[in-house]
Structure 1
């Protein structure tokens, strides 16, 4: 059996692991590279494996770095089935259509304003190509064994992280391969704790926060302080946010503060059409999260939901203080750029980062203190206050990742650490060695390993 590490090896994005036997090729996740330019450029390169020779895709969840390459895979010849949970199918549909639409809009803008070196600038894939992925989906229930061939089956088990996210237990050639996908926090605001694997010969473990422990800060108190101090100077709070789960988590926290009369009576705006659509997915998949139907309804009623770009412009030029949650979470595109182009130059405003910021993204550069940021070909001075709430991450920290392996009945033959930057990977490697003495390997991008 061969393993091809086609993404998320030595980096956080572009998750793709190919499992190859004599009879079968299975791709675990099919993500898009984000962040650093040399990684983003890999999205345009053909896979080293012909997509037409891949039999199945097993999808852990619907974030862009795990599903965003699917339209390209299908366009390049993949004809097989894509298996995932019901919420993941719904979220992936929204994510892919939104991603394609943003790419088309940005290519059009780049061509119109001639700031791209590509003549003409092109989207990686179109909305039409994103829609062609949908017939390939097959929804499976969590915990149900799904037979792929006579000697190969898999099951999904709950991972927390975002709505519908699952880890994968794959049985092939008398070996058990467990893929963590992205693992949520054990004490997440909205998601239940991740389930832990019991048996595994080979483990593929995400390492996003492998070198960090989430601070035990009072998130509500911190958010209250940010909003009130910005309101007092007549400023706006902008929260760049991932449309799936993070928007809903921030909504929940703001709703709690509002119920307790701890934040002012101002406009609270959700400006991410996809995030608004995900609210329906939350309502329709109640067993996957902690919110009741009543809580979902009450929470939604607190917010002004913006869907049209004309409404975005109206909101931006409204002089009254407001709190805006807008995608994307790492400021790589989306509506949040329109707000930042107007608000980031003004010192009375506050930008709150509430999720992981990958290398090379605008969010990461702001987090590291850059004083000038480029958007749509123009540079903007960073005069607004930049702050972050690390405890809101949908990823488990080092403790959560280490604990995820504690119920294994027997030591695995190998643990592969993936989906992390170098310092995080190495810190988690050392911690796992100390705790369990498991054999651990950190694969490199493009590496092929025989097991």
Structure 2
């Protein structure tokens, strides 16, 4: 048996781990690389194995960095089954369609504005290619043993993080391989705590926040402070947000603040078609989160739900103070760029970062104090106030990650630390070795190990 790290190693994006056993190839996640240009360029590279030779894809959850390369995989010959939970299937469909539309739009803008370095800018994949992924989905139940063949079984257990997110345990060759996916927090606003594994011979553990502890903040009070200060100054609040889970969390917190009469009566806008559709998935899957259907409906009614670009342009030109939630969360694309084009130059604007900002993304650059940001082929001065509410991440912190291993009834042969930048992964390695004595390894992209 061999495992090869094709992505999500040394970085928090592009998650792809290939397992080979007795002629069977299983790909755990199939994510898009985001962030710095060398990573983004890897999305155009072929896999080290032919996609047509991969038998199965197992998806931990529907975030772009875990599912966003599926259209390329399918267009290059993959025709096997894609196993995931029901909510993950629906979220992945939203994510892929949205990603494809954004890439088509950005390619068109680059061609019209003639700011592409290529003679003709092309999208990484099209909406038509994204739609060809959908017939390959096969939905699995929580805790249900799925037989991939006579000798390989997979079991999906809840991981918190977002709707449908799971840890996947694969049993093959008398060994159990546990892939954490992204581990949620024990005290998440919307999600239930993750399920801890009981047995594992090899663990593949994410390390996004491997060197950080989430601050013990009163998140609602922080949100209240920034909203009130900005609105009272006649400005606009822009919250770049991941469309799934984070957007709904922010909406819920703002709704609570409004109910408590702690924030003013101004327009509250969610401008992400995918985020709006994700609200429906919340309604349809009440067992996966803490909100009631009634609460989902009440939260929705507080917001102007924007789907069309025409509405976006009208809102941008409306000078009244307002609060806008728009994707994408790391400002790598999406409607939030249209708002920033107009508002980032205004000192009375506040941009609130509410999630992890990967290396090389516009969000990370802004948090690091960049004086200007490039998008749509131009540089824009950053005159807006940039703030961060760190307690809103859907990822577990160092304590959560270490604690997630605490129910193991055996000592794993090895713990591979993935989906993290090098320093967080290394600090998590030290913590795990000190607490449990587990043998930890931080793989590099392209490395292969025999198990």
TM-score, normalized by length of structure 1?
A: 1.00
1:238 match: secondary structure: strand
Question: How far is 1:422 from its partner?
Answer: 0.8
Question: Which runs of structure 2 are paired with 1:272-287 in the superposition (5 Å)?
Answer: 272-287=272-287
Question: How far is 1:211 from its partner?
Answer: 0.3
1:62 match: secondary structure: coil
Counterpart of 1:402 in structure 2 is: 402
| Distance in 2, Cα, partners of 1:200 & 1:168 | 11
1:449 match: secondary structure: strand
Question: Which runs of structure 2 are paired with 1:15-414 in the superposition (5 Å)?
Answer: 15-414=15-414
1:111-148 Cα deviation digits (max 9, x unpaired): 01000101100001000000000000000011100001
| Distance in 1, Cα, partners of 2:273 & 2:74 | 25
1:154 match: secondary structure: strand
2:181 match: secondary structure: coil
2:277 match: secondary structure: helix
2:387 match: secondary structure: strand
| Distance in 1, Cα, partners of 2:293 & 2:43 | 40
Aligned length: 451
2:101 match: secondary structure: helix
| Distance in 2, Cα, partners of 1:115 & 1:436 | 53
Question: How far is 1:301 from its partner?
Answer: 0.6
Question: How far is 1:21 from its partner?
Answer: 1.1
| Distance in 1, Cα, partners of 2:118 & 2:22 | 41
1:148 match: secondary structure: strand
Structure 1 position 417 matched with structure 2 position 404 = no
1:172-212 Cα deviation digits (max 9, x unpaired): 11100000000000000000000000000000000000000
| Distance in 1, Cα, partners of 2:165 & 2:323 | 29
Question: How far is 1:23 from its partner?
Answer: 2.5
2:258 match: secondary structure: helix
2:214 match: secondary structure: coil
2:449 match: secondary structure: strand
Counterpart of 1:426 in structure 2 is: 426
| Distance in 2, Cα, partners of 1:286 & 1:28 | 27
1:366 match: secondary structure: helix
| Distance in 2, Cα, partners of 1:103 & 1:259 | 38
| Distance in 1, Cα, partners of 2:81 & 2:87 | 17
1:268-311 Cα deviation digits (max 9, x unpaired): 00000000000000000010000001111111110000100000
| Distance in 2, Cα, partners of 1:113 & 1:231 | 35
Question: How far is 1:110 from its partner?
Answer: 0.1
| Distance in 1, Cα, partners of 2:191 & 2:137 | 24
1:115 match: secondary structure: coil
| Distance in 1, Cα, partners of 2:209 & 2:318 | 38
TM-score, normalized by length of structure 2?
A: 1.00
| Distance in 2, Cα, partners of 1:165 & 1:17 | 17
| Distance in 1, Cα, partners of 2:389 & 2:30 | 29
| Distance in 1, Cα, partners of 2:10 & 2:226 | 35
5+ residue gaps, structure 2? none
Counterpart of 2:450 in structure 1 is: 450
